[in-house]
Structure 1
């Protein structure tokens, strides 16, 4: 059997490389979830690559109206063959529709067909007769020797009860949840006639370019074979405190109160790498690129100049617009595009807008860390979730156990003076300074001072 691509960003990836031809794929979902757009977009991409495609639309609209609506999308191709069946007719007389449909297919001889939607066909008939019709349709589809998409207005439970699920080679379910910040769209592969598809829920979006799917992170453990070297974090004296600097491919979590300079630590980490020929990415949920540039310039960091040289890229995503899967795909693509070796995420509390539970957030960050390591990237995460005055040894930082290096920045009242303090709480594979360390921030950046006391 041949494998064909859908031509839709992310779809072939979650399908495990494409769709087996011939096959029958059910695209199910609730109203407005994007079933038609997904199906038609795949037809148009196939037409662009020289395939013959046929769109069977069961509706009350005219062909001109359908084409006018589809032409609003950039993927639309005039080569799309469109044939309209009146919805009231197919509800009453599905067998006549099946005969006519067979004649159309024999005339066009398409490589791909979309029947949209299939659920109204024989709607008023008893269930037994509808089942017989679906089996008759399936027999016809086998003779067509094509990739056939069927759409249906169905919930997941409807799919399980429907006879269509018995005859379909693959089932894709789309869902849409209207939220305060917009629509949350998810796609799930329920069934597929190939073993290597990516299960679970994946996020997707719809705009004038059509459907874009953002596969969930799947980052298996890859055994490290090369020697792991030490790299500088860009903070004077920190390499000494960490007994040689950070390890390549490690994940560092900088946690602390507001005003402790967490972002500055991260900027130093990225700028130091870029100055040494290691491109870096800053993913920020709080500060805009302009704000980061001004902040860095006030502390003598050449952030903007390194951006111009293509050694640093800033990705700004306002918290209200965060889509975890899309954000991860963007990071992965930018890492590949610029050969990035360092990544900074500031601040991971932005994921609280996305995930309902800390468990889900923890799982996402764990997969992010593994993805970065697999891509030979050293990462740093900023967390502002530490409450002022809290015990420095409390495990209230949700993802602290995931990091290879945990650094806590904190304001402390010492001798009637508020001092900035740093504690290296853990550093996998290396000894490190155990004392509480004072530091200050000036126009010259981070200045590490004296040891204060044992933790």
Structure 2
């Protein structure tokens, strides 16, 4: 009989997942929390545990559920202060305060929580269980386990308390969220072992800039979830979680249409233009015109009626508009029409995960077909470890390529002229197209040259052309066929009677 009952229960469809109230967290969890289970949310003080707990309960209230917040650490007034800081109220949330008194902390007066069928419960615990039986909440939060450890006195009693809580709520159709501030000297894995899922919040303080926060799901029984670390931030209105980008989850775009830069000579140099779904790296010394060239593609897209998004690390929006105006590229009308958006990025305040989230929003919400990241140097400053920058950049470019977006990356070399010019991060092997801008000396003047040194999947012109910026815009000149050594910075004029050597084809 027992065997047949278990078999039929396994055939029953699973209950719908519960929304946590944090959209990004639901994405990480594969849809939300399985109902009627016990969960552990751990993190250091200030990581946002109480905020998530309130969002979890508010989501239940929004769905017409009865919810209960049991607090052993914060008073009702303190919880109200947290809620007001986010523009919330506690309407619909039942709060039970169990703040321990001095007598309760006396070893002789310590109360314990045991299963009702085994031992008599303490008076305060009986109140909580009576509230549960009376209110019949579907969501309960216990804040926090540190106080339960103090009341238990010993690790054995503490573990029995947690097991008793799990057994008590097991048959009451209730989803329980336990908060742990991880202040114990020894990290107890007992609670992790009995919890259905474990979420950990981390925060680190860098030498400069804002605190970086990230979360990870270390365990989730029977549910597919997005593993790894995910950035999040605490703002007015609650937590915002930015799930880690996995390009393989998105279907690739099959369109291979060439996009014009708006300059016929540049299109000719690029073999007809840049294909949709490809990435182009524009590299060169500071001041060679990399940002202006990238802006040319964005403005050309806006003129075609497509949306273009610029993410600028190294200059202000006002400076960008002034510079483009001086080149005959007025950004104002395109900004007003919504065909062009500019986002100024502060790498000291924006986490890498949030930056990727904003890029995805530009594609999914605004339909951006051209994205400019100016520059990789600023992007590098947002990522303390270069290894992770390359990995994340690879995922980002793959995702944008699958979405059919033309991506332009700007990278500045560390030197102005010469053969030993290097970029702080080598992304040339990731990009589909590499455009090189160089200074060179000619007749006592500093000139600029442009060339395409790489293009996957298509032919391109291999000449080195002159490149100038003026009040009428970006100009691509004739090939510099009368010189050799232009890329070294000091070209040598060719004798008129001698033909330059060409590589065999």
Same fold, TM exceeding 0.5?
A: yes
- CA gap of 1:418–1:7, structure 2 versus 1, over 3 A, is same
1:309-357 Cα offsets, whole Å, 9 max, x none, are: 1111111122322221112112212322221111111112112222122
- CA gap of 1:162–1:280, structure 2 versus 1, over 3 A, is same
Contact map agreement 2:386 2:425 (CA 8 A) in 1: no
- Aligned residue pair count: 453
Contact map agreement 2:159 2:190 (CA 8 A) in 1: yes
- CA gap of 1:17–1:87, structure 2 versus 1, over 3 A, is same
Which residue matches 1:67? 80
Structure 1 segments (4+ residues) deviating >4 Å = 155-159, 221-225, 392-397
1: CA distance between counterparts of 2:478 and 2:174?
74
- Within 5 Å, which residues of 2 pair with 1:229-248? 229-248=257-276
- Within 5 Å, which residues of 2 pair with 1:277-316? 277-316=305-344
Name stretches of at least 5 consecutive residues in structure 2 with no aligned partner: 1-14, 114-121, 488-505
- Indicate which of 53, 61, 84 corresponds to 1:39: 53
1: CA distance between counterparts of 2:46 and 2:253?
48
2: CA distance between counterparts of 1:274 and 1:293?
15
**Greater share of residues in strand:** 1
- Within 5 Å, which residues of 2 pair with 1:189-228? 189-220=217-248, 224=252, 226-228=254-256
How far is the alpha carbon of 1:389 from its aligned partner? 2.7
Quick check: 280-289 or 218-227, which moved more?
218-227
- CA gap of 1:239–1:9, structure 2 versus 1, over 3 A, is same
How far is the alpha carbon of 1:375 from its aligned partner? 2.1
1: CA distance between counterparts of 2:423 and 2:335?
37
Contact map agreement 1:28 1:172 (CA 8 A) in 2: yes
- CA gap of 1:389–1:324, structure 2 versus 1, over 3 A, is same
- CA gap of 1:155–1:40, structure 2 versus 1, over 3 A, is same
Which residue matches 1:82? 95
Contact map agreement 1:44 1:75 (CA 8 A) in 2: no
Which residue matches 1:12? 26
Contact map agreement 1:236 1:446 (CA 8 A) in 2: no
How far is the alpha carbon of 1:396 from its aligned partner? 6.2
* Aligned alpha-carbon RMSD (Å): 2.3
Quick check: 191-200 or 218-227, which moved more?
218-227
How far is the alpha carbon of 1:155 from its aligned partner? 7.6
- CA gap of 1:303–1:190, structure 2 versus 1, over 3 A, is same
In the alignment, is residue 430 of structure 1 matched against residue 458 of structure 2?
Answer: yes
1: CA distance between counterparts of 2:22 and 2:249?
28
Contact map agreement 1:14 1:199 (CA 8 A) in 2: yes
2: CA distance between counterparts of 1:260 and 1:393?
13
- Indicate which of 153, 178, 183 corresponds to 2:205: 178
Larger radius of gyration: 2
Which residue matches 1:345? 373
2: CA distance between counterparts of 1:278 and 1:419?
33
In the alignment, is residue 100 of structure 1 matched against residue 113 of structure 2?
Answer: no
- Within 5 Å, which residues of 2 pair with 1:113-152? 113-123=140-150, 125-152=153-180
2: CA distance between counterparts of 1:397 and 1:152?
40
- Indicate which of 312, 315, 324 corresponds to 2:352: 324
1: CA distance between counterparts of 2:75 and 2:253?
62
2: CA distance between counterparts of 1:75 and 1:376?
40
Contact map agreement 1:45 1:75 (CA 8 A) in 2: no
Q: TM-score, normalised by structure 2?
A: 0.84
